[in-house]
Protein backbone atom coordinates (compact mmCIF):
# COMPACT_ATOMS: atom_id res chain seq x y z
CA UNK A 1 0.00 0.00 0.00
CA UNK A 2 1.38 3.36 -1.05
CA UNK A 3 0.49 6.11 1.42
CA UNK A 4 0.99 8.79 -1.25
CA UNK A 5 -0.84 9.07 -4.55
CA UNK A 6 0.94 7.95 -7.70
CA UNK A 7 1.20 11.58 -8.78
CA UNK A 8 2.87 12.58 -5.52
CA UNK A 9 5.25 9.64 -5.67
CA UNK A 10 6.25 10.57 -9.21
CA UNK A 11 6.68 14.23 -8.24
CA UNK A 12 8.81 13.26 -5.24
CA UNK A 13 11.08 11.11 -7.43
CA UNK A 14 11.45 13.81 -10.07
CA UNK A 15 12.28 16.55 -7.56
CA UNK A 16 14.69 14.25 -5.76
CA UNK A 17 16.50 13.63 -9.04
CA UNK A 18 16.72 17.37 -9.64
CA UNK A 19 18.11 17.91 -6.16
CA UNK A 20 20.69 15.16 -6.56
CA UNK A 21 21.90 16.75 -9.80
CA UNK A 22 22.57 20.04 -8.02
CA UNK A 23 23.47 18.85 -4.51
CA UNK A 24 24.99 20.68 -1.56
CA UNK A 25 27.31 22.85 -3.63
CA UNK A 26 24.47 24.03 -5.84
CA UNK A 27 24.25 27.35 -7.63
CA UNK A 28 21.07 28.87 -6.26
CA UNK A 29 20.17 30.79 -9.41
CA UNK A 30 20.68 27.75 -11.64
CA UNK A 31 18.62 25.50 -9.36
CA UNK A 32 15.85 28.10 -9.06
CA UNK A 33 15.74 28.48 -12.84
CA UNK A 34 15.58 24.74 -13.50
CA UNK A 35 12.99 24.13 -10.78
CA UNK A 36 10.92 26.94 -12.28
CA UNK A 37 11.25 25.58 -15.82
CA UNK A 38 10.04 22.18 -14.64
CA UNK A 39 7.01 23.78 -12.99
CA UNK A 40 7.95 22.99 -9.40
CA UNK A 41 8.05 26.51 -7.98
CA UNK A 42 4.46 27.31 -8.93
CA UNK A 43 3.00 23.85 -8.47
CA UNK A 44 0.52 25.24 -5.90
CA UNK A 45 -0.72 28.17 -8.00
CA UNK A 46 -3.77 28.20 -10.32
CA UNK A 47 -3.29 26.74 -13.78
CA UNK A 48 -4.94 29.74 -15.43
CA UNK A 49 -2.01 31.87 -14.26
CA UNK A 50 0.70 29.40 -15.24
CA UNK A 51 0.81 27.34 -12.07
CA UNK A 52 0.44 23.62 -11.58
CA UNK A 53 -3.04 23.74 -10.09
CA UNK A 54 -1.94 21.84 -6.98
CA UNK A 55 -1.69 22.97 -3.40
CA UNK A 56 0.45 22.95 -0.30
CA UNK A 57 0.71 19.16 -0.43
CA UNK A 58 2.66 19.41 -3.67
CA UNK A 59 4.69 22.51 -2.84
CA UNK A 60 5.80 21.20 0.57
CA UNK A 61 6.83 17.94 -1.10
CA UNK A 62 9.05 19.87 -3.52
CA UNK A 63 10.81 21.80 -0.75
CA UNK A 64 11.26 18.69 1.39
CA UNK A 65 12.95 16.76 -1.41
CA UNK A 66 15.22 19.63 -2.35
CA UNK A 67 16.20 19.92 1.31
CA UNK A 68 16.86 16.19 1.55
CA UNK A 69 19.27 16.59 -1.39
CA UNK A 70 21.10 19.38 0.44
CA UNK A 71 19.79 22.26 -1.69
CA UNK A 72 16.64 23.77 -0.16
CA UNK A 73 15.27 26.99 -1.64
CA UNK A 74 14.20 29.20 1.27
CA UNK A 75 12.33 31.69 -0.91
CA UNK A 76 9.85 28.94 -1.76
CA UNK A 77 8.50 29.42 1.76
CA UNK A 78 7.86 33.08 1.07
CA UNK A 79 7.24 33.72 -2.61
CA UNK A 80 4.89 30.99 -3.92
CA UNK A 81 3.69 29.68 -0.54
CA UNK A 82 2.77 32.84 1.37
CA UNK A 83 2.53 35.59 -1.22
CA UNK A 84 1.33 33.47 -4.10
CA UNK A 85 -1.32 31.79 -1.97
CA UNK A 86 -2.64 35.05 -0.50
CA UNK A 87 -2.86 36.74 -3.90
CA UNK A 88 -4.44 33.67 -5.51
CA UNK A 89 -7.09 33.46 -2.78
CA UNK A 90 -7.82 37.11 -2.08
CA UNK A 91 -6.25 39.29 -4.76
CA UNK A 92 -8.15 41.22 -7.40
CA UNK A 93 -8.19 39.98 -10.97
CA UNK A 94 -5.65 42.64 -11.85
CA UNK A 95 -3.34 41.64 -8.97
CA UNK A 96 -3.55 38.02 -10.04
CA UNK A 97 -2.71 38.89 -13.64
CA UNK A 98 0.13 41.15 -12.52
CA UNK A 99 1.87 38.84 -10.05
CA UNK A 100 0.86 35.19 -10.30
CA UNK A 101 2.37 34.28 -13.69
CA UNK A 102 5.80 35.54 -12.58
CA UNK A 103 5.54 33.85 -9.18
CA UNK A 104 4.53 30.63 -10.95
CA UNK A 105 7.40 30.56 -13.45
CA UNK A 106 10.00 31.84 -11.00
CA UNK A 107 10.77 35.02 -12.92
CA UNK A 108 9.31 37.09 -10.07
CA UNK A 109 9.89 36.69 -6.34
CA UNK A 110 8.06 38.41 -3.54
CA UNK A 111 9.16 38.85 0.08
CA UNK A 112 6.88 38.90 3.12
CA UNK A 113 7.11 41.52 5.85
CA UNK A 114 5.38 40.91 9.17
CA UNK A 115 7.99 40.79 11.98
CA UNK A 116 8.70 44.03 13.84
CA UNK A 117 11.32 45.01 16.45
CA UNK A 118 8.82 45.33 19.30
CA UNK A 119 6.07 42.98 18.16
CA UNK A 120 7.77 39.92 16.72
CA UNK A 121 5.03 38.20 14.76
CA UNK A 122 2.22 39.29 17.09
CA UNK A 123 -0.21 40.80 14.61
CA UNK A 124 -2.06 42.56 17.43
CA UNK A 125 1.04 44.60 18.34
CA UNK A 126 2.17 45.54 14.85
CA UNK A 127 2.75 49.28 14.65
CA UNK A 128 3.19 49.62 10.88
CA UNK A 129 0.11 51.62 9.98
CA UNK A 130 -1.69 52.53 6.78
CA UNK A 131 -3.86 55.57 6.43
CA UNK A 132 -5.97 56.75 3.54
CA UNK A 133 -4.41 59.37 1.27
CA UNK A 134 -6.35 62.25 -0.24
CA UNK A 135 -6.25 60.57 -3.65
CA UNK A 136 -7.82 57.38 -2.30
CA UNK A 137 -4.52 55.52 -2.02
CA UNK A 138 -2.59 54.57 1.09
CA UNK A 139 0.28 55.98 3.16
CA UNK A 140 2.30 53.25 4.89
CA UNK A 141 4.61 53.99 7.84
CA UNK A 142 6.59 51.61 10.03
CA UNK A 143 9.53 49.21 10.41
CA UNK A 144 10.09 45.51 9.83
CA UNK A 145 12.98 43.22 10.78
CA UNK A 146 14.31 39.82 9.71
CA UNK A 147 12.70 40.00 6.30
CA UNK A 148 14.23 37.44 3.93
CA UNK A 149 15.29 38.08 0.36
CA UNK A 150 14.10 41.68 -0.02
CA UNK A 151 17.10 42.48 -2.20
CA UNK A 152 16.15 39.85 -4.79
CA UNK A 153 12.38 40.32 -4.58
CA UNK A 154 10.45 42.54 -6.96
CA UNK A 155 8.01 43.43 -4.18
CA UNK A 156 7.22 42.75 -0.53
CA UNK A 157 3.84 41.76 0.85
CA UNK A 158 3.74 43.96 3.95
CA UNK A 159 1.47 43.46 6.94
CA UNK A 160 0.21 46.80 8.20
CA UNK A 161 -2.77 47.95 10.21
CA UNK A 162 -5.62 50.23 9.29
CA UNK A 163 -8.12 51.94 11.56
CA UNK A 164 -11.63 50.55 11.75
CA UNK A 165 -13.97 53.52 11.24
CA UNK A 166 -16.62 51.91 13.44
CA UNK A 167 -14.50 51.04 16.47
CA UNK A 168 -11.30 53.05 16.07
CA UNK A 169 -9.30 49.85 16.58
CA UNK A 170 -6.45 48.87 14.33
CA UNK A 171 -6.85 45.77 12.17
CA UNK A 172 -4.23 43.95 10.07
CA UNK A 173 -4.18 44.41 6.31
CA UNK A 174 -1.86 43.29 3.51
CA UNK A 175 -0.18 45.59 1.00
CA UNK A 176 2.01 44.92 -2.03
CA UNK A 177 5.00 47.28 -1.94
CA UNK A 178 7.25 47.24 -5.05
CA UNK A 179 10.97 47.22 -4.24
CA UNK A 180 11.81 50.67 -5.65
CA UNK A 181 8.86 52.54 -4.12
CA UNK A 182 10.04 55.93 -2.71
CA UNK A 183 10.37 55.85 1.07
CA UNK A 184 10.78 52.07 1.13
CA UNK A 185 14.36 51.39 2.24
CA UNK A 186 16.26 48.36 3.49
CA UNK A 187 19.45 47.64 5.42
CA UNK A 188 21.04 44.21 5.71
CA UNK A 189 21.21 42.62 9.16
CA UNK A 190 24.59 41.10 10.01
CA UNK A 191 23.82 37.43 10.67
CA UNK A 192 26.08 34.62 11.86
CA UNK A 193 23.94 32.25 9.80
CA UNK A 194 25.30 31.92 6.28
CA UNK A 195 22.54 31.56 3.71
CA UNK A 196 21.84 32.62 0.13
CA UNK A 197 18.87 34.67 1.32
CA UNK A 198 19.94 37.66 3.39
CA UNK A 199 17.97 39.22 6.23
CA UNK A 200 16.92 42.87 6.21
CA UNK A 201 15.43 45.63 8.28
CA UNK A 202 12.85 47.63 6.35
CA UNK A 203 11.80 51.21 6.90
CA UNK A 204 8.57 52.53 5.41
CA UNK A 205 8.69 56.32 5.63
CA UNK A 206 5.31 57.63 4.46
CA UNK A 207 5.32 55.21 1.53
CA UNK A 208 2.62 56.27 -0.92
CA UNK A 209 0.75 53.38 -2.51
CA UNK A 210 -2.17 53.27 -4.94
CA UNK A 211 -5.55 52.04 -3.76
CA UNK A 212 -5.05 48.70 -5.46
CA UNK A 213 -1.96 47.95 -3.37
CA UNK A 214 -4.33 46.55 -0.75
CA UNK A 215 -4.78 42.79 -1.12
CA UNK A 216 -8.21 41.44 -0.36
CA UNK A 217 -10.88 42.91 1.88
CA UNK A 218 -9.88 45.56 4.38
CA UNK A 219 -12.35 44.07 6.88
CA UNK A 220 -11.06 40.52 6.62
CA UNK A 221 -7.37 41.19 7.12
CA UNK A 222 -6.80 38.76 10.00
CA UNK A 223 -8.42 35.88 8.13
CA UNK A 224 -6.37 36.65 5.05
CA UNK A 225 -3.19 36.98 7.08
CA UNK A 226 -3.54 33.53 8.57
CA UNK A 227 -4.32 32.14 5.13
CA UNK A 228 -0.70 33.04 4.42
CA UNK A 229 0.78 32.09 7.79
CA UNK A 230 -0.52 28.52 7.72
CA UNK A 231 1.32 27.76 4.44
CA UNK A 232 4.41 29.38 5.97
CA UNK A 233 4.30 26.93 8.87
CA UNK A 234 3.72 23.97 6.57
CA UNK A 235 6.64 24.98 4.38
CA UNK A 236 8.89 25.58 7.39
CA UNK A 237 8.09 22.03 8.42
CA UNK A 238 9.05 20.83 4.94
CA UNK A 239 12.29 22.82 5.13
CA UNK A 240 13.15 21.26 8.51
CA UNK A 241 12.22 17.71 7.51
CA UNK A 242 14.31 17.95 4.37
CA UNK A 243 17.28 19.27 6.34
CA UNK A 244 16.91 16.54 8.93
CA UNK A 245 16.72 13.85 6.26
CA UNK A 246 19.87 15.18 4.61
CA UNK A 247 21.81 15.13 7.89
CA UNK A 248 20.52 11.69 8.80
CA UNK A 249 21.50 10.27 5.41
CA UNK A 250 25.06 11.51 5.86
CA UNK A 251 25.24 9.94 9.31
CA UNK A 252 23.77 6.61 8.21
CA UNK A 253 26.16 6.34 5.28
CA UNK A 254 29.10 7.13 7.56
CA UNK A 255 27.96 4.67 10.23
CA UNK A 256 27.67 1.89 7.65
CA UNK A 257 31.25 2.26 6.46
CA UNK A 258 33.23 3.73 9.34
CA UNK A 259 35.06 0.93 11.16
CA UNK A 260 37.06 1.54 14.33
CA UNK A 261 37.16 -1.95 15.90
CA UNK A 262 35.91 -5.12 14.21
CA UNK A 263 32.52 -3.93 12.96
CA UNK A 264 31.18 -0.71 11.41
CA UNK A 265 30.15 1.75 14.11
CA UNK A 266 26.55 1.51 12.93
CA UNK A 267 26.42 -2.04 14.32
CA UNK A 268 26.60 -0.65 17.86
CA UNK A 269 23.27 0.29 19.42
CA UNK A 270 24.76 3.44 20.96
CA UNK A 271 25.12 4.72 17.40
CA UNK A 272 22.24 2.91 15.70
CA UNK A 273 19.42 3.60 18.16
CA UNK A 274 19.69 7.41 18.22
CA UNK A 275 19.74 7.42 14.41
CA UNK A 276 16.69 5.15 14.32
CA UNK A 277 14.93 7.46 16.77
CA UNK A 278 15.76 10.49 14.62
CA UNK A 279 14.33 8.71 11.58
CA UNK A 280 11.11 7.87 13.42
CA UNK A 281 10.62 11.44 14.62
CA UNK A 282 11.21 12.87 11.14
CA UNK A 283 8.66 10.44 9.68
CA UNK A 284 6.09 11.39 12.34
CA UNK A 285 6.64 15.07 11.64
CA UNK A 286 6.14 14.45 7.92
CA UNK A 287 2.78 12.79 8.62
CA UNK A 288 1.60 15.86 10.53
CA UNK A 289 2.87 18.12 7.75
CA UNK A 290 0.93 16.07 5.20
CA UNK A 291 -2.18 16.30 7.36
CA UNK A 292 -1.80 20.07 7.63
CA UNK A 293 -1.34 20.42 3.88
CA UNK A 294 -4.35 18.22 3.15
CA UNK A 295 -6.56 20.22 5.52
CA UNK A 296 -5.37 23.51 4.08
CA UNK A 297 -5.90 22.38 0.49
CA UNK A 298 -9.40 21.21 1.46
CA UNK A 299 -10.21 24.74 2.67
CA UNK A 300 -10.44 23.91 6.38
CA UNK A 301 -8.43 26.86 7.65
CA UNK A 302 -9.22 26.33 11.33
CA UNK A 303 -8.15 22.68 11.47
CA UNK A 304 -5.22 23.46 9.19
CA UNK A 305 -4.04 26.13 11.62
CA UNK A 306 -3.78 23.64 14.46
CA UNK A 307 -2.10 20.98 12.29
CA UNK A 308 0.30 23.46 10.67
CA UNK A 309 1.51 24.68 14.06
CA UNK A 310 1.94 21.11 15.29
CA UNK A 311 3.78 20.13 12.11
CA UNK A 312 6.15 23.06 12.37
CA UNK A 313 6.87 22.27 16.02
CA UNK A 314 7.40 18.55 15.44
CA UNK A 315 9.56 19.08 12.35
CA UNK A 316 11.79 21.65 14.04
CA UNK A 317 12.40 19.43 17.06
CA UNK A 318 13.06 16.38 14.87
CA UNK A 319 15.41 18.36 12.65
CA UNK A 320 17.50 19.70 15.52
CA UNK A 321 17.81 16.22 17.00
CA UNK A 322 18.72 14.63 13.65
CA UNK A 323 21.39 17.22 12.89
CA UNK A 324 22.87 16.98 16.37
CA UNK A 325 23.00 13.19 16.21
CA UNK A 326 24.49 13.27 12.72
CA UNK A 327 27.33 15.53 13.84
CA UNK A 328 27.87 13.36 16.91
CA UNK A 329 27.99 10.21 14.78
CA UNK A 330 30.74 11.63 12.59
CA UNK A 331 32.70 13.02 15.52
CA UNK A 332 35.38 15.43 14.34
CA UNK A 333 34.41 14.79 10.73
CA UNK A 334 30.98 16.18 11.53
CA UNK A 335 32.55 19.61 11.94
CA UNK A 336 34.49 19.60 8.68
CA UNK A 337 33.44 21.40 5.53
CA UNK A 338 33.65 18.14 3.58
CA UNK A 339 30.49 16.69 5.09
CA UNK A 340 28.48 19.92 5.30
CA UNK A 341 26.89 19.16 8.66
CA UNK A 342 28.37 21.82 10.93
CA UNK A 343 26.55 24.64 9.12
CA UNK A 344 23.29 22.81 9.71
CA UNK A 345 23.67 23.11 13.49
CA UNK A 346 22.80 26.80 13.25
CA UNK A 347 20.38 26.40 10.36
CA UNK A 348 18.40 23.72 12.18
CA UNK A 349 17.73 26.04 15.10
CA UNK A 350 16.14 28.56 12.76
CA UNK A 351 13.19 26.21 12.38
CA UNK A 352 12.67 26.38 16.15
CA UNK A 353 12.67 30.17 16.12
CA UNK A 354 11.09 31.23 12.84
CA UNK A 355 8.52 32.08 11.68
CA UNK A 356 7.14 31.59 15.18
CA UNK A 357 8.90 30.22 18.26
CA UNK A 358 8.14 26.81 19.66
CA UNK A 359 6.91 28.46 22.87
CA UNK A 360 4.26 30.40 20.96
CA UNK A 361 3.17 27.20 19.25
CA UNK A 362 2.84 25.55 22.66
CA UNK A 363 0.75 28.57 23.72
CA UNK A 364 -1.45 28.09 20.65
CA UNK A 365 -1.97 24.39 21.32
CA UNK A 366 -2.60 24.86 25.05
CA UNK A 367 -5.18 27.60 24.38
CA UNK A 368 -6.81 26.52 21.14
CA UNK A 369 -6.54 22.74 21.31
CA UNK A 370 -6.71 22.10 25.05
CA UNK A 371 -8.82 25.06 26.12
CA UNK A 372 -6.45 26.17 28.87
CA UNK A 373 -6.57 29.82 30.04
CA UNK A 374 -4.16 32.42 28.71
CA UNK A 375 -1.49 34.16 30.76
CA UNK A 376 -1.40 37.15 28.43
Topology of the domain covering 222-369: Butyryl-CoA Dehydrogenase, subunit A; domain 3 (1.20.140)
Looking at residue 30, its pLDDT comes to: 95
CATH topology (fold) of 6-109: Butyryl-Coa Dehydrogenase, subunit A; domain 1 (1.10.540)
The pLDDT, as a whole number, for residue 164 is 60
Q: What's the rounded Cα separation, in Å, for the pair 44 and 57?
A: 8
Residue spans per domain, the chain? 6-109, 111-220, 222-369
Q: Is 101 exposed, middle or buried (0-12, 13-18, 19+ CB in 10 A)?
A: middle
Q: pLDDT at position 2, please?
A: 64
DSSP one-letter string for 175-215: EEEETT-TTEEEEE---SS--SS-EEEEEEEEEEE-GGGEE
Phi and psi, residue 270, nearest 5°: -65, -25
* pLDDT tens, residue by residue, 320-338: 999 999 999 999 999 999 9
The stretches in the chain having pLDDT less than 50 are 165
What's residue 8's pLDDT? 96
Domains 111-220 and 222-369 share a fold: no
Pair 151, 200: CB distance under 8 Å: yes
Q: What is the number of alpha carbons within 13 Å of residue 218 lying toward its C-beta?
A: 18
Residues with Cβ within 8 Å of 255's Cβ and at least 6 positions away in sequence, in order, are 264, 265, 266, 271, 272, 275, 329
The span from the CA of 64 to the CA of 328, in Å, is 23
Cβ burial of 42 (10 Å; 0-12, 13-18, 19+) is buried
Name 173's bridge partners. Answer: 160
* Residue 113, beta-bridge partner list: 158
Return the CA Rg of the chain.
Answer: 21
Domain 111-220 class?
A: mainly beta
64 C-beta neighbours (distance < 10 Å), count: 29
Amino acid sequence: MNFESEEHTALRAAVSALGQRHGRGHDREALWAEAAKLGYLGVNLPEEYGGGGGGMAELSLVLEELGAAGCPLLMMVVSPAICGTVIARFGTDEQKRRWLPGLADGSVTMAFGITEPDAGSNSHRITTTARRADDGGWILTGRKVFISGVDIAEATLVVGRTEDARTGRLKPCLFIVPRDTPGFTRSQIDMELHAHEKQFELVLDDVALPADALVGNEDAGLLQLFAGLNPERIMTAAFAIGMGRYALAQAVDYARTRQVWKAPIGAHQAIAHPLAQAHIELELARLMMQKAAALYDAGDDIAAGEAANMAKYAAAEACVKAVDQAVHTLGGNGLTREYGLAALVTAARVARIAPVSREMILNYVSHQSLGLPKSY
